[in-house]
Amino acid sequence: MSRSRIKDIAVICQRRDILIIEDDVYASFAAHDRICFLDLAPERTYYINSFATLFTPGLRLGVLIAPSHQLDNLVRVLRAQGATDSPISRLIIHKWIADGVASHISRTTSAEAAVRNKVAASIFSSISDAWIGSGFHMFLSMRHSAAVALASAARERGIMVTDPAVSLSDGNDQSGIRLCLGGPSRLELSAALREIATLQVQLGQGTKATAKDLGDNMNA
């Protein structure tokens, strides 16, 4: 989301007294000069982050920064629910931050994401409506029926993708496919993305690409 759009949304929320829940678990992949809602409207923003997403799924700990006037209420709710965490996980995270391991993991992960996004951008450069960010996911926007057809064709070739229904909103046929870039090896990822891009053209979804364009990109 652009800086101007974030600012506009923050202004609207302040004007209409709307609370903001900001899920920022992919913050480490974002630009260093980015802004977030917590910066602009801390009095109404509940900021969420996760060590499991940043470091490893085994560290089931997160971070919640809430408006100062709501902290007592949040603590009471957490205590009433019996919510707790793992002391060992807390110790590991504390040690990693103190030793610099956390910073190293963050830098290494961001660098790997950049490489994989570059691969995806090269393969889908001639395909319309392909959104590639800076993390470990990309999105192919298309009508729901087309997304279902593409997902089915990919599965027949042994490539599993996110169910298009996840991206379908009520009363709107616009959907798409969310692709994970972080699971397989780089070689496996490249092969799978090329297969999906080829399928997209064959199914008529690559509206700005031709088979020749796609072949040129793949051979570049």
Q: Where are the domains of the chain?
A: 3-99, 115-219
Top CATH class of 115-219 equals alpha beta
Residue 207 has pLDDT above 60, yes or no: no
Nearest to 15 by CA among 49, 40, 52: 40
Q: What is the crossing angle of helices 101-123 and 211-219, to 10°?
A: 140
Residue 153 has pLDDT above 90, yes or no: yes
CATH architecture of 3-99: 3-Layer(aba) Sandwich (3.40)
The token duo for 86 is 């793992």
Instruction: Give the residue with greater pLDDT, 129 vs 211.
Output: 129
Q: Write down how long the chain is.
A: 220
Q: What's the mean pLDDT in 79-106?
A: 88
Residue 18 has pLDDT above 90, yes or no: yes
Task: Work out the mean pLDDT of the chain and round it to a whole number.
Answer: 84
CB 67 within 8 A of CB 46: yes
Tokens 């051979």, located at residue: 219
Same fold, 3-99 and 115-219: no
Give the CA dihedral 115, 118, 123, 124, nearest 10 degrees: 130
Angle at Cα 124 formed by Cα 122 and Cα 126, nearest 5°? 100
Residue 149 has pLDDT above 70, yes or no: yes
Looking at the chain, the whole-number percentage of residues with pLDDT higher than 70 is 91
Residue 217 confidence (pLDDT) = 38
